[in-house]
């Protein structure tokens, strides 16, 4: 590969040199600087540039066929990716690549993002190998762009290699069931403003933008559990947490272009100092984390939250630097609030569209809570089996993180073929493709929580259901996310009944940014029980 790319570079240089010699000769022989001369000069220049680029892409686009990996026909210059003006989100495009390879009965395939080769595994056994068994080849995500220049990026999501490993070991106990139990009441307190807001909306018979309501709830929860701060998002519409939370996920053409550039030309992006997170957002999170930390330590205040666990890791066990502490708080905030509110939004959309499922779930909630004197407790929520099925099915139909990313760190021999995946290659596993594949989930458009009943669970093939990823890099916040979703659904369903408002566009159109959302939002009617 190295030899080939050297050869390619050599050919391009030769073309450029020939061009330069001709240009020099041309300039010497040009006696009159007339319009025709200039025109010819420009045409010559463009021809040279065109052929140099053409030759470069031609070489690049033969990458997968040279490695006997099936590919799809790329076109210049975008490769297999649709041009930006078509506005097709990457998650849909990668789900389509999965589908295309699957239709061709291929176990894997290769595509190009511009000239960059991307590996697409399709076979569930291969996917399991990449995520779990052969993890040592695919332990990183490869998105640690200029992390040194950012103050919040020394976190689990962005780090790779030994630094990630050490940090993951240090932080795993933070998400144990004991710690979740400890935070339970802090989380439960956040349901009070949620209930109050819905009471008001129901009384006024207002149509509800449920994503907005749920994002406020999950912002309150993560603000309280990670920063130890009461955000009061329902009271203060433009609270800083909500404002900056929105900004993190705000998509615009410039941001998309910056990401694409950093992803494609990592080294150049590093040299140019391209960073992903806006300085204003970063400054807010750094300031708020430092203030909370200093206030707590100085006044010896202890709370049952993530911040407390991180303070103890830093102060007592000397296990964390200040930058690492800030980065984790930031990661928990960013990874936690939008994933959870998007999941809950899709769940309520399905419950509002399927009254039988909504009734069955409400019935379970009443039955279990009856055994606990009507109190929502940590133990009670774990007895709600149908609730778990409903959330699992929501994440099956709507995997809010629809692509799992890995970067190969050493040459990897694909088990069923003689192909080698080279170190440095990005691998994209389409959770959306897998979850909507009729071979793995028959009638995939149907919302059917019974796919996850005890009797049916064993039918789900390993490597086909990945809402939280898999292997050592599986989402560290699974327990927290599930607990939050359950507490929220109990609060909503024991007090209100939901139906679809006509403002919701059905069938839902998915809008994929980094997190999958519903285009145009989900609008519901809500009635007090």
Bind-site residues: 475
Q: Among residues 184, 156, 187, which one has the least CA distance to residue 169?
A: 156
Q: In the complex, which residue's CB is closest to ligand HEM?
A: 469
Kindly tell me which of 305 and 497 has the beta carbon lying closer to ligand HEM.
Answer: 305
Among 390, 428, 476, 526, binds ligand HEM (CB under 6 A): 476
User: Does 227 sit near ligand HEM (CB under 6 A)?
Assistant: no
Q: By rule CB under 6 A, what count of residues binds ligand HEM? A: 25
Cα separation, 421 vs 1, whole angstroms: 12
Kindly tell me which of 376 and 401 has the beta carbon lying closer to ligand HEM.
Answer: 401
User: Does 469 sit near ligand HEM (CB under 6 A)?
Assistant: yes
Q: Helix (H, G, I), strand (E, B), or coil: what is residue 226?
A: helix
User: Does 335 sit near ligand HEM (CB under 6 A)?
Assistant: yes
Backbone angles phi, psi at 227, to 5 degrees: -100, -15
User: Does 474 sit near ligand HEM (CB under 6 A)?
Assistant: yes
> Could you tell me which residues come within 8 angstroms of residue 259 by beta carbon, excluding any fewer than 6 positions away?
276
Please tell me the total number of residues recorded for the chain in this structure. 529
- Cα-atom radius of gyration of the chain, to the nearest Å? 26
Pairing relationship of beta strands 412-413 and 420-421 according to DSSP bridges: antiparallel
User: Does 488 sit near ligand HEM (CB under 6 A)?
Assistant: no
Contact region with ligand HEM (CB under 6 A), list: 120-128, 234-242, 312-320, 397-405: 397-405
User: Does 339 sit near ligand HEM (CB under 6 A)?
Assistant: yes
Contact region with ligand HEM (CB under 6 A), list: 111-119, 267-275, 452-460, 471-479: 471-479
* Residue 479: count of CB within 10 angstroms of its CB: 16
Backbone angles phi, psi at 444, to 5 degrees: -60, -25
Positive or negative: CA dihedral 19, 22, 27, 31: negative
User: Does 90 sit near ligand HEM (CB under 6 A)?
Assistant: no
Among 63, 97, 157, 514, binds ligand HEM (CB under 6 A): 157
* Shortest distance in whole angstroms from residue 473 CB to ligand HEM: 4
Among 343, 353, 389, 504, binds ligand HEM (CB under 6 A): 343
419, 403 contact by CB (below 8 A):
no
Structure tokens at 521: 């939002």
* Shortest distance in whole angstroms from residue 465 CB to ligand HEM: 11
Would you list which residues are annotated within the binding site for heme?
A: 475
Q: Among residues 391, 379, 374, 376, which one has the least CA distance to residue 189?
A: 376
Residue 304: left if φ>0, alpha if ψ -120 to 50, beta else—which one? Answer: beta
Contact region with ligand HEM (CB under 6 A), list: 29-37, 73-81, 328-336, 519-527: 328-336
Query: Cα 31 to the chain's mean position, in Å?
Result: 61
Kindly tell me which of 178 and 273 has the beta carbon lying closer to ligand HEM.
Answer: 178
* Shortest distance in whole angstroms from residue 103 CB to ligand HEM: 25
Residues that bind ligand HEM (CB under 6 A): 156-157, 168, 331-332, 335-336, 339-340, 343, 395, 400-401, 404, 467-470, 473-477, 480-481
């Amino acid at each position: 590969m190295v030899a080939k790319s050297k050869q390619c570079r050599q050919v391009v240089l030769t073309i450029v040199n020939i061009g330069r010699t001709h240009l020099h000769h041309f300039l010497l022989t040009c006696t009159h600087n007339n319009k025709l001369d200039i025109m010819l000069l420009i045409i010559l220049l463009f021809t040279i540039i065109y052929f140099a680029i053409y030759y470069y892409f031609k070489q690049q686009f033969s990458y997968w066929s040279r490695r006997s990996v099936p590919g799809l026909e790329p076109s210049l210059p975008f490769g297999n990716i649709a041009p930006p003006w078509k506005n097709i989100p990457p998650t849909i495009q990668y789900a389509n690549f999965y589908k295309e390879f699957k239709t061709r009965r291929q176990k894997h395939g290769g595509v190009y993002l511009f000239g960059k080769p991307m590996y697409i595994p399709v076979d569930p056994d291969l996917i399991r190998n990449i995520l779990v068994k052969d993890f040592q080849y695919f332990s990183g995500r490869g998105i640690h762009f200029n992390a040194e220049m950012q103050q919040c990026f020394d976190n689990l999501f962005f780090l790779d290699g030994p630094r990630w490993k050490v940090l993951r070991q240090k932080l795993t106990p933070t998400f144990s069931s004991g710690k979740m139990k400890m935070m339970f009441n802090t989380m439960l307190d956040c349901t009070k403003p949620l209930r109050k807001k819905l009471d008001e909306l129901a009384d006024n018979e207002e149509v509800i933008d449920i994503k907005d309501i749920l994002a406020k709830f999950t912002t309150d929860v993560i603000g309280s559990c990670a920063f130890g701060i009461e955000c009061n998002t329902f009271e203060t519409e433009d609270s800083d947490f909500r404002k900056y939370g929105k900004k993190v996920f705000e998509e615009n053409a410039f941001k998309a272009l910056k990401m694409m550039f950093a992803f494609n030309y990592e080294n150049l992006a590093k040299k140019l100092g391209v960073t992903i997170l806006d300085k204003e957002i970063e400054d807010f999170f750094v300031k708020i984390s430092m203030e909370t930390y200093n206030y707590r330590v100085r006044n010896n205040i202890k709370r049952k939250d993530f911040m407390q666990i991180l303070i103890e890791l830093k102060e007592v066990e000397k296990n964390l630097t200040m930058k690492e502490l800030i980065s984790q708080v930031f990661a928990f905030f960013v990874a936690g609030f939008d994933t959870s509110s998007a999941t809950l939004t899709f769940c309520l959309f399905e419950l509002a569209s399927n009254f039988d499922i909504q009734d069955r779930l409400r019935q379970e909630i009443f039955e279990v809570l009856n055994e606990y004197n009507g109190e929502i407790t940590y133990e009670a929520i774990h007895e709600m089996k149908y609730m778990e099925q409903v959330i699992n099915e929501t994440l099956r139909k709507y995997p809010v993180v629809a692509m799992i990313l890995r970067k190969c760190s050493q040459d990897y021999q694909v088990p069923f073929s003689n192909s080698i995946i080279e170190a440095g290659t990005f691998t994209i596993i389409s959770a959306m493709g897998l979850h909507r594949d009729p071979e793995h989930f028959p009638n995939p458009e149907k919302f059917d929580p019974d796919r996850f009943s005890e009797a049916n669970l064993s039918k789900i093939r390993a490597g086909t259901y990945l809402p939280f990823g898999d292997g050592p890099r599986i989402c560290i916040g699974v327990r927290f996310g599930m607990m939050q979703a359950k507490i929220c659904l109990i609060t909503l369903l024991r007090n209100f009944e939901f139906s679809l408002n006509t403002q919701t566009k059905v069938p839902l159109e998915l809008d994929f940014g980094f997190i999958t959302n519903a285009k145009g939002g989900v609008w519901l009617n809500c009635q007090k029980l």
